[in-house]
Amino acid sequence: MAGKIMKGGEFLIAESDCQDIFTPEDFTDEQRAMAETTEQFVENEILPHLDEIEAQKFEYIVEGMKKCGELGLLMMDAPEEEGGLELDKASAMLVGEKIATSGSFSVAFAAHTGIGTLPLIYYGTPVQKEKYLDKIISGEWCSAYCLTEPGSGSDALGVQSNATLSEDGKYYTLNGTKQFITNGGFADLFTIFVKIDKQHFTAFLVEKSFDGLVVGPEEKKMGIKGSSTTQIILDNCKVPVENVLGEIGKGHKIAFNSLNIGRFKLGAMVTGAAKMALGEGLSYANERKQFGRAIASFGAIQEKIADVTAAIYASESLVYRLAGLLDDKIATIDKGVDDYYEQYLKAIEEYAPECGISKVFCSDVLAKTVDEVVQIHGGYGFVSEYAAERYYRDERINRLFEGTNEINRLLTTGMILKRSMKGELPLQAESMKAFEALMTPSFDEVDESIPFIAEKTTIANLKTLFLILAGAGVQKYMDKLANEQEILMAASDIAIQIFAMESAVLRAEKMIDTLSPVKQEQLRAAVKVATFNATEVAASAAKKGAYMVEEGDTLTMILSGVRRFTKYDATGLLQAKRTLAAAASEAEKYIF
Ligand SMILES: Cc1cc2nc3c(=O)[nH]c(=O)nc-3n(C[C@H](O)[C@H](O)[C@H](O)COP(=O)(O)OP(=O)(O)OC[C@H]3O[C@@H](n4cnc5c(N)ncnc54)[C@H](O)[C@@H]3O)c2cc1C
């Protein structure tokens, strides 16, 4: 949809125009219709059976998946010529957001449509797709993705499972154990990553019926209890050579590209879950009376509602801005070229830093949301009769799987710095300019006529601060900076807040003139609260980062920069919080 397409990571050094970003206000009628179909499916087919699903009666998940197949919800990413819909990423994210209200079912759905199906779509041969794809996108078969092992989680390439070719060259024999496999208990097709001859990391398509594939017992989990999580044991499992997926020794590409896509979709799903949890908290706060009045009338509760509403607004803005970036980049690829999917995956990989940011920021927002929703429920939030208790337990996994949030934070800044060192992003030159700005007193006049100028100035300043810190880190540790994880984490925290805050502000700028005065006030309030909170997080990370990377005069200078570049005039913050809380309480749902 956009004019200029930003590169991945470029948001840290360049300014975006609000007209160049995709926002939820840009959804087409078709996209809205897809969202509505998904909402109705959850309401009619899943929510009435939630208790059975929670009790691991998997037949409800399997049946639900078939219904999703009938509705076209499993074929969003599959190519049109193979019976799929090949929808844009914004649509897929919107469906993800809506399906997220289905509790454990959503985990099965996400694993099936994401890491379970995408490897086949992107890397399968025509024969493999002919054999399996229709079954998968119709919901006749469920799928799973088996990367993790007992000894290799974050260190995904350290798998021990092994495959050897038979003497007649017709099949491989796989041995090993896969850990924590979503849909393990009922999946029919498994994408399994092993090393051939203990060396060549390779993916295989393995049917449940293949000799030697053993499904382990269900894990007893803290949350998402209705989903299936098992070990998959490969006990001399015989797999025909035709079922090698992609190239031998190139399994890492399949593994990581699939996870990358999982990450941006997860951002959308957790945003949907956060909206749902907020709605529950709002209803309860209106209903529950203490000291003779609804608890929603207390400032302490209103502040929680306001902070969470603003955070979800940022989360949503970020997710769909990323969808737009991905869709714009994908749209530049000629569909007729032979290596279409290679280019397609490269386009997605371009935004790997933003995908990591989406995963971390949005899952952290959900964590904050469910925590506050339990708190709003008081003691009742602690008992399972109330949905808040399940939301709290179910949330926790999102910070662990699809790459833990630590791994994603390390990857985000790590990738951006690597691109800079390769000359793909001019971070070093920009960092030098940032140091110059640090040493030059600023008497810039701000042009009050520019919409959201206070927020935009803060964002620009935080970018300068990121460049100062990252630059100081690179100067001190050079290519060994990756070993100084505490510094990388601090830099990531700043980058994450910048992307989220900027997405929130640009979206507001783009839509504000289309709104009624009342809605405009609410939007301004959300932007103020989100910017204030994000700036506080970034300021704290920057201060910590400064102390960890420097000492002496340079430290003193950088700390003065932290003070100068994290200023945000949030005059009217209390009123903004009250405006947001009042609107959300009245609507009893997320208001944007
Ligand atoms: C319910 C559930 C469903 C899952 N579904 C699937 C699935 O379908 N398919 C699949 O393949 N896997 C799946 N997983 C596995 C999941 O992806 C892993 O649990 C995750 O990648 C983390 O690996 P680990 O549990 O071994 O933790 P570890 O890797 O042992 O990590 C432990 C801690 O150390 C930190 N850490 C590790 N390495 C580093 C490092 N280099 N630097 C800094 N910190 C580090 C981590 O962030 C974490 O805090 C699932 C897990 C669960 C619990």
User: Does residue 2 fall inside a structural domain?
Assistant: no
Using the mean position of ligand 1's atoms as its centre, give its distance from the Cα of residue 103 in Å. Answer: 21
Active site (annotated) includes residue 455: no
The answer, yes or no, to whether any atom of ligand 1 lies below 6 A from the CB of 107, is no
- Give the residues across from 177 on adjacent strands: 233
- Asked if 481 and 470 sit in the same domain, the reply is yes
The tokens describing 265, both together, are 């979709």
The answer, yes or no, to whether any atom of ligand 1 lies below 6 A from the CB of 79, is no
- Asked if 387 and 274 sit in the same domain, the reply is yes
Helix, strand, or coil (residue 289): strand
- Asked if 397 and 269 sit in the same domain, the reply is yes
Using the mean position of ligand 1's atoms as its centre, give its distance from the Cα of residue 400 in Å. Answer: 6
Digit-coded pLDDT (tens) for 159-181: 999 999 999 999 999 999 999 99
Chain-centre distance for alpha carbon 475: 31
Residue with more model confidence, 49 or 335: 49
Residue to substitute in 154, 359, 405 for testing ligand 1 pocket (most ligand atoms within 8 angstroms of CB): 154
Whether the per-residue pLDDT at 444 is higher than 70: the answer is no
Digit-coded pLDDT (tens) for 513-538: 999 999 999 999 999 999 999 999 99
Helix, strand, or coil (residue 234): strand
User: Measured from the CA of 154, which atom of ligand 1 is nearest?
Assistant: 29
- Asked if 380 and 465 sit in the same domain, the reply is no
**585 neighbors 522 (Cβ within 8 angstroms):** no
Using the mean position of ligand 1's atoms as its centre, give its distance from the Cα of residue 21 in Å. Answer: 33
Can you tell me the distance from the alpha carbon of 580 to that of 357, in angstroms, rounded to the nearest whole number? Answer: 26
Residue 443 gets which letter from DSSP? -
Helix, strand, or coil (residue 424): coil
Amino acid in position 136: I
- Which of 413, 502, 503 has its CA nearest to residue 460? 502
Amino acid in position 357: I
User: Does residue 1 fall inside a structural domain?
Assistant: no
Q: Among the listed ranges 213-222, 436-445, 449-458, which one has the minimum average pLDDT value?
A: 436-445
Amino acid in position 79: P
Can you tell me the distance from the alpha carbon of 445 to that of 509, in angstroms, rounded to the nearest whole number? Answer: 21
User: Does residue 400 fall inside a structural domain?
Assistant: yes
The enclosing domain of 186 has a CATH number of 2.40.110.10
- Asked if 134 and 150 sit in the same domain, the reply is no
Whether the per-residue pLDDT at 447 is higher than 90: the answer is no
Amino acid in position 167: E
Q: What is the pLDDT of residue 364?
A: 98
User: Does residue 580 fall inside a structural domain?
Assistant: yes
Final residue belonging to a domain, choices 100, 126, 142: 142
The answer, yes or no, to whether any atom of ligand 1 lies below 6 A from the CB of 193, is no
- Asked if 270 and 212 sit in the same domain, the reply is no
Digit-coded pLDDT (tens) for 59-105: 999 999 999 999 999 999 898 888 899 999 999 999 999 999 999 99
Using the mean position of ligand 1's atoms as its centre, give its distance from the Cα of residue 314 in Å. Answer: 27
User: Does residue 463 fall inside a structural domain?
Assistant: yes
- Asked if 127 and 226 sit in the same domain, the reply is no
Helix, strand, or coil (residue 23): coil
The enclosing domain of 75 has a CATH number of 1.10.540.10
Final residue belonging to a domain, choices 223, 245, 267: 245
**238 neighbors 68 (Cβ within 8 angstroms):** no
> What average pLDDT does this structure show over 557-564?
96
- Which of 29, 28, 15, 143 has its CA nearest to residue 75? 143
Residue to substitute in 112, 143, 145, 148 for testing ligand 1 pocket (most ligand atoms within 8 angstroms of CB): 148
- Asked if 297 and 437 sit in the same domain, the reply is no
- Asked if 342 and 458 sit in the same domain, the reply is no
Chain-centre distance for alpha carbon 339: 27
User: Does residue 474 fall inside a structural domain?
Assistant: yes
The enclosing domain of 354 has a CATH number of 1.20.140.10
Q: Which domain holds residue 179?
A: 145-245
- Asked if 357 and 281 sit in the same domain, the reply is yes
User: Does residue 3 fall inside a structural domain?
Assistant: no
Residue 290 gets which letter from DSSP? E
> What average pLDDT does this structure show over 550-572?
96
Neighbours of 72 (CB within 10 A): 16
Query: What's phi and psi for 165, nearest 5 deg?
Result: -80, 140
- Give the residues across from 174 on adjacent strands: 163, 237
Q: What is the pLDDT of residue 292?
A: 98
Can you tell me the distance from the alpha carbon of 200 to that of 216, in angstroms, rounded to the nearest whole number? Answer: 26
**pTM summary value:** 0.97
User: Measured from the CA of 224, which atom of ligand 1 is nearest?
Assistant: 1
Nearest CA to ligand 1 atom 35: 406
Using the mean position of ligand 1's atoms as its centre, give its distance from the Cα of residue 231 in Å. Answer: 14
164 Cβ neighbours under 8 A, 6+ residues apart: 172, 173, 196, 197
Digit-coded pLDDT (tens) for 211-248: 999 999 999 999 999 999 999 999 999 999 999 999 99
The answer, yes or no, to whether any atom of ligand 1 lies below 6 A from the CB of 216, is no
- Packing angle of the helix pair 352-377, 299-331 (nearest 10 deg): 160
**164 neighbors 196 (Cβ within 8 angstroms):** yes
Final residue belonging to a domain, choices 220, 245, 270: 245
The answer, yes or no, to whether any atom of ligand 1 lies below 6 A from the CB of 180, is yes
Whether the per-residue pLDDT at 2 is higher than 60: the answer is no
Q: What is the pLDDT of residue 1?
A: 58
DSSP, residue by residue, 477-492 = HGGGGGG-HHHHHHHH
User: Does residue 568 fall inside a structural domain?
Assistant: yes
Burial 275-312 (b: 16+ CB within 10 A, else e): bbbbbbbbebbeebeeeeebbbbeeebbbbbbbbbbbb
User: Measured from the CA of 111, which atom of ligand 1 is nearest?
Assistant: 8
Digit-coded pLDDT (tens) for 478-514: 889 999 999 999 999 999 999 999 999 999 999 999 9
Residue with more model confidence, 2 or 280: 280
Can you tell me the distance from the alpha carbon of 373 to that of 296, in angstroms, rounded to the nearest whole number? Answer: 12
User: Measured from the CA of 115, which atom of ligand 1 is nearest?
Assistant: 8
Digit-coded pLDDT (tens) for 395-435: 999 999 999 999 999 999 999 999 999 999 999 999 999 99
Which value, in Å, is the radius of gyration of the alpha carbons in the chain?
A: 24
**147 neighbors 202 (Cβ within 8 angstroms):** no
Task: Give the strand pairing for 189-196 and 229-240.
Answer: unpaired
**115 neighbors 107 (Cβ within 8 angstroms):** no
Query: What's phi and psi for 202, nearest 5 deg?
Result: -145, 150
- Give the residues across from 290 on adjacent strands: 293
Catalytic member of 10, 54, 280, 402: 402
**428 neighbors 468 (Cβ within 8 angstroms):** no
Residue with more model confidence, 442 or 394: 394
- Asked if 555 and 420 sit in the same domain, the reply is yes
- Asked if 65 and 208 sit in the same domain, the reply is no
User: Measured from the CA of 221, which atom of ligand 1 is nearest?
Assistant: 1
Domain count, the chain: 4
Cα-based torsion angle of the residue sequence 366, 372, 376, 377 in order, rounded to the nearest 10 degrees:
60
Q: State the average pLDDT for the chain.
A: 96
Residue to substitute in 401, 405, 411, 483 for testing ligand 1 pocket (most ligand atoms within 8 angstroms of CB): 401
